[in-house]
A and B are shown apart, each in its own frame.
Chain A
């Protein structure tokens, strides 16, 4: 009896350990591709927090971020077999989530050409935004979320994810110059809000 309980605990502990310890990525991917539900959840739990951070940056609110993360992971699971292991898995997932966010933006938002003269002027005047450095990630996110859709997308892609204006132009179907101007307006918008605060 005791032996049986011990055996059961051992097996259970081993199963949990399999999914909670830093398992080899290729093993995890194989199990996910085999349709192992527990492996799929472990895979999700491993990458979801970081990807949710990405989704929150691109989304206007948490509901939208939830949608982006969900749609992104469905794509990840669907196309995981096409991941060849040439780059980092996390980078591949991140690109998938970012692309999902961009598609979401394209699908839902109509591109506008902004001619916000005021914000450009304010940007030139803004000099002291030391409060920025003291802000937490969630506070910064709050400000980013309030940016207009186009500004926010360009700001994220360029400043945080490191895409060039040329790449952003191709991704969003806009010109390089539009990308640049939207970025500078995004900066101005953020500075204005942060200074006011």
Chain B
């Protein structure tokens, strides 16, 4: 088909493009919502804050729960391991427990008390002390019944199943050294009960999930560091990769952080100061016009006439005019923008030792960053007779400050008792974005901290 007229040319464009439909990217709708569209916009912008806050609250709650649970366990453990310091209040001993109220699944532990020949039985799940003579009789009866069941073991499997639910009450063979002061009774030692408890737990597969938080297990894992308070100072190198949704211009950042952590048993509070250097592609689209010299002509700007010898003689006043052809051009000016930030983190976390050489921790909090320096090169177009028409940055301008909600998990290698080497991956969500006018959503960051820590004790 040959196009001889404008009409045909125009018609083709009109037919093909007038009702042309193209699916827009999802980011456009996200941008519309974020731009203040009623209803959904508010919801969208708020949920991110709520999500970040929820994660933080959840983490702190979980840490607190674990901490306080351990606190309760600690008192039981100390009761067994540090007998000289742990006392059982005599008022507890007054608690009466009827034989028929005995919980058959309860683990029964035997204690010896100074001044009493009769052993006292302690229900570890309630810390109630069983009355000596009557309870012993009941317990002896239970032991007897169980022995009977064991004898009938092979005969009746159903009876065996019932017997499994009855935990063996055990009598301490020999009362240990005892003392009594006023209304308080001091328990000196109870090694046998410990070993029996371990045996009992190992028999019950259903308790396997409890073992990690079991008092003994915690004691073994933490090597006696559970109730300590001390400071930990750290210096860490922290590269980070920040992704801005719907923008290929990812940001790389490198930081040096100094941290101070106050360790309170298994929980800790951490703050510090950091310096981060960040850079991104500072590319520009540059629209410019280049004037190409085409030639020149003499422009007559004035003419005067004089009468010479009776004839009119014109005088032409001219000037040379150069003619240029202007060509629209677009160029991409490639630059690299550099920024420096001062970081102030505030974190709360949970810490636990893993054997002799390793420890694990998790922490969450916020990090506030203030821009203290930036270097943004101006785009340059080379060539003669060039006029820059428009410069459009391809990057987002940075905000003066930004804030991230962060979640970090870390593993320390204990080089010595006080000197640690740590590796700490982290994820961040920028609750206050580090770039301006970013309709597609706030950035996410993925980073790692590598460095050393020193325990001040």
A77: chain B residues within 8 A (beta carbon): 32, 37-38
Q: Report Cα–Cα, A144/B325, bound state, in Å.
A: 22
Restricting to B1-51, which residues have a CB under 8 Å from any CB of A?
A: 1-4, 6, 9-10, 12-14, 16-25, 27-29, 31-32, 35-40, 43
At the interface, yes or no: B217 with Cβ under 8 Å from chain A?
A: no
A136: chain B residues within 8 A (beta carbon): 16
Q: Report Cα–Cα, A96/B204, bound state, in Å.
A: 73
**A interface, over-half SS:** helix
At the interface, yes or no: B198 with Cβ under 8 Å from chain A?
A: no
Say whether A70 contacts B28, CB under 8 Å. Answer: yes
Say whether A41 contacts B29, CB under 8 Å. Answer: yes
State how many residues of chain B have any CB contact under 8 Å with chain A: 43
At the interface, yes or no: B389 with Cβ under 8 Å from chain A?
A: yes
Kindly provide the distance from the CB of B11 to the nearest chain A CB, expressed in whole angstroms.
9
Say whether A141 contacts B389, CB under 8 Å. Answer: no
Say whether A140 contacts B17, CB under 8 Å. Answer: yes
**B interface, over-half SS:** mixed
Kindly provide the distance from the CB of A167 to the nearest chain B CB, expressed in whole angstroms.
17
Say whether B14 contacts A56, CB under 8 Å. Answer: no
A74: chain B residues within 8 A (beta carbon): 32, 35-37
Asked whether A52 and B13 contact (CB < 8 A) given A70-B439, A108-B392, A110-B389, the answer is no
Kindly provide the distance from the CB of A88 to the nearest chain B CB, expressed in whole angstroms.
13
Q: Report Cα–Cα, A11/B129, bound state, in Å.
A: 60
B328: chain A residues within 8 A (beta carbon): 112, 114, 148
Which of A's residues lie within 8 Å of B, judged by CB?
35-37, 40-41, 44, 48-50, 52-53, 56-57, 66, 69-70, 73-74, 77, 108-110, 112, 114-118, 127-130, 132-133, 135-137, 140-141, 144, 148-149, 155, 159-161, 187, 191
Beyond the given pairs A66-B31, A70-B439, A159-B10, 8 more chain A to chain B contacts, judged by CB atoms under 8 angstroms and listed by A's residue number, are A49-B23, A110-B389, A112-B289, A114-B326, A133-B1, A137-B16, A140-B13, A187-B6
Which 5 interchain pairs have the tightest Cβ spacing? A37-B40, A53-B20, A35-B39, A49-B21, A52-B24
Which of B's residues lie within 8 Å of A, judged by CB?
1-4, 6, 9-10, 12-14, 16-25, 27-29, 31-32, 35-40, 43, 287, 289, 294, 325-328, 389-390, 392, 439
